[in-house]
Amino acid sequence: MFDLSGRTALVTGSGQGIGLAIATALAKAGAQVVLNGRAEARLEAAAATLRGHGADVVLSAFDVTDADAVKAAIDHLESHGTAIDILVNNAGIQRRRPLEDFPVETWHEVMRANLDSVFYVSQAVARHMIERGHGKIINIASVNALLARQTIAPYTASKGAVLNLTKGMCADWAKHGLQINAIGPGYYATPLNKALYEDPVFDDWLRKRTPARRWGKMEDLHGAAVFLASSASDFVNGQILYVDGGLTATV
């Protein structure tokens, strides 16, 4: 039920961090993985690591915020024998600043990376999935889809939109045999959160605030990703699964 052998998974932003962790999990479950990002050297290093563990890896370097580049890349993969069965929309950025001082262009930068990209890649991939009558799309949201903190209002807005876009994709595409769900990670020690986990005050606050009393580890995401990518979740649709140590369950 959780075996992904014979399936191909595209994971955006998978050169490092959560994206690479999810690609690793899917590869261990038997999937061929397509790594995506803009830094080709980073992708090559990630691919070498995965191949060292026996994974079947394809590289596809394209900018997820460029709609034309996305469509061209997906169509190229599909027409050259790499049919995408599983899509993980992980690529994203964080920009921290008080909202009253947040530059307009930076607002748009966050929205392009965190929201527009999910629409662009999902639409391009879903058109092929619909023709085949099956597919899994996993959007990476955040606990900040529900909860806000100072200086990250645009990020919070973008992830809240991803949550609702997930539901919208379900409404449109479930009838075609697609399952579209989201994972809401809590706080993980990733490059995106470097400023936080290196801050002793925030580190202490987070450990006290999270019922599990720790930061998330990359392997904590493996089971959720494999579940939502596999046949085990064939009647799960439009949902968000929080992997957050209980953060969103408590006050």
Q: What does the pLDDT look like over 81-94, one tens digit per residue?
A: 999 999 999 999 99
Domain annotation covers residue 86:
yes
Q: Are 66 and 117 in contact (CB under 8 A)?
A: no
Q: What is the pLDDT of residue 190?
A: 87
**219 C-beta neighbours (distance < 10 Å), count:** 10
Q: Are 140 and 90 in contact (CB under 8 A)?
A: yes
Domain extent, residue 238, equals 8-243
Query: Hey, what amino acid is at 120?
Result: Y
- pLDDT tens digits for range 178-221: 999 999 999 998 888 888 999 999 999 999 999 999 999 999 99
SS3 22: helix
Domain annotation covers residue 119:
yes
Domain annotation covers residue 178:
yes
Sheet of strand 8-11, all strands in order from the earlier edge strand to the far edge = 57-61, 32-37, 8-11, 86-89, 135-140, 178-185, 240-243
Cα–Cα–Cα angle for 163, 202, 251, rounded to 5 degrees: 55
Taking each helix axis as running N to C, give the angle between helix 17-28 and helix 40-52, from 0 to 180 degrees, rounded to the nearest 10: 30
CATH number reported for the structural domain that contains residue 32 in this entry = 3.40.50.720
Tokens found for residue 53: 């563990």
Domain annotation covers residue 250:
no
Q: Which residue among 120, 155, 187, 242 is the active-site one?
A: 155
Domain annotation covers residue 135:
yes
Tokens found for residue 177: 């045999």
CA–CA separation, 166 and 219 (whole Å): 24
Residue 174, exposed/middle/buried by CB under 10 A (0-12, 13-18, 19+)?
Answer: middle
**N residues, the chain:** 251
Domain annotation covers residue 2:
no
Give 3-state DSSP helix, strand, coil % of the chain, rounded to 5: 55, 15, 30
Number of domains in the chain: 1
List beta partners, residue 179.
136
Q: What is the pLDDT of residue 139?
A: 98
CA–CA separation, 17 and 216 (whole Å): 12
Q: What is the pLDDT of residue 49?
A: 96
Question: Which regions in the chain score pLDDT beneath 70?
Answer: none
Domain annotation covers residue 1:
no
Q: Which residues contact 92 (CB under 8 A, 6 or more apart)?
A: 13, 113, 114, 117, 140, 158, 192
Decide if 155 is catalytic: yes
Domain annotation covers residue 3:
no
CA–CA separation, 51 and 42 (whole Å): 14
